Structures are given as C-alpha cells and as structure tokens.
C-alpha cells in the first residue's frame, strides 16, 4: 500500500503525523509526505515547535492515482491552513471521488468539510468541530475511532492523540483491506 500524508508547511501535530507514519511503515506500506510547499514541514507538540520533516512531494506534483490511501493528521493550524488551499482541498476530494480510504484525526476534518465530503457520513473529531461537522451534514459521535464505510470511500476518524493506538490499528486494517 502506498499512503499519502497531507500536511501544511507548519502546524501539524507531530504525534498525529509520526505515529500513523510508523504504523503504515510497520505494516509494510510506502509513505509519502505531501505539502503545499516543498522543503521541510514544521511540526508542533501542542503549541511548542517540534521536529521538522522533509516533504516528499508537493500537492501540485501529486495525483490521487499515485496512492492507495490518504492520512490527514491534525493540529489546529494544519487543517486550517489546508482548507484555504484550493489544490489541497481538491486532492482530498479526489481521494473520495476515487473511492480510496481516508483517515483523519483531531482537527483534520476541517479540511474534509471544505472538500464537501462529510455530508451523510458519521465521524468523530476534536469536540470543538462537532457543530461544524453537523452544519456540513455529518453525524458526529464521541468515539475513540469511527470507521464510516459509506460510498464512495471509507473514512476513519479519531478525536485526539489519546486515540492514536485505535486510530492507527483501524487505518492500517482498512488500508490493507483496500490495497490487498
């Protein structure tokens, strides 16, 4: 399985990037870090700067056909930036239209809302997104991990870093089922 991780140039919650990244790698998957700009992305540990990570490809140089699945890590600033970038939003929408699985944690569903892919789906997120998701036509639940298999694409969501173990297990399972 080849998995794209889409992040902004700065603001991704580090653990929400690194733990799923590790889980996909441990499952034998290929990973690519995609961002709106080349170079390195600045991760954060809540409000404090964390590590930087090299970008493998820019959004402009990426297509959904190159990947089997998509991961959207959270952090407040990360999805807020991504949802204002038309090319990033289009890439997210393309994954759904292609029927490929997508996993999003914490604040990442903000980008899903902008891509208009949550209507009629059931998902979870950081609690402050509950109203945004409901207003976008989704059903919000307070669960550690939620797998929504509504057509055309499977969506795996979790609330926060405390849910990472369950989130990683679910996304690896769903991604493996899809690509295997």
Task: For 34-88, give the DSSP string.
Answer: EESSSSEEEEEETTEEEEEEE-SEEGGG--GGG-SEEEE---SHHHHHHTT-HHH
Q: How many CA atoms lie within 13 A of 3 on its CB side?
A: 32
**Cα gap 119→155, rounded to integer Å:** 12
What are the respective helix, strand and coil percentages of the chain, to the nearest 5?
40, 30, 30
Residue 44 to residue 94: CA distance in whole angstroms: 28
Measured CA distances, 147 to 32, 73, 75 (Å): 23, 16, 21
**What positions carry a catalytic annotation?**
106
């Amino acid at each position: 399985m080849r998995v794209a991780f889409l992040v902004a140039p700065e603001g991704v919650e580090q653990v929400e990037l690194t733990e799923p990244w590790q889980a996909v790698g441990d499952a034998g998957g290929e990973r690519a870090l995609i961002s709106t700009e080349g170079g390195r992305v600045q991760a954060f540990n809540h409000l404090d700067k964390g590590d930087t990570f090299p970008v493998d490809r820019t959004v402009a140089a990426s297509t959904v056909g190159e990947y089997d699945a998509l991961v959207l890590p959270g952090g407040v600033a990360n999805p807020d930036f991504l949802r204002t970038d038309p090319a990033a939003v289009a890439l997210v929408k393309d994954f759904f239209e292609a029927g490929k699985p997508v996993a999003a944690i914490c604040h990442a569903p903000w980008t899903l809302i902008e891509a208009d892919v949550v209507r009629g789906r059931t998902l979870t997120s950081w609690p402050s997104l509950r109203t945004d998701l409901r207003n976008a036509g989704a059903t919000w639940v307070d669960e550690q991990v939620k797998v929504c298999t509504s057509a055309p694409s499977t969506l795996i969501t979790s609330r926060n870093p405390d849910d990472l173990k369950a989130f990683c297990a679910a996304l690896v399972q769903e991604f493996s089922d899809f690509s295997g």
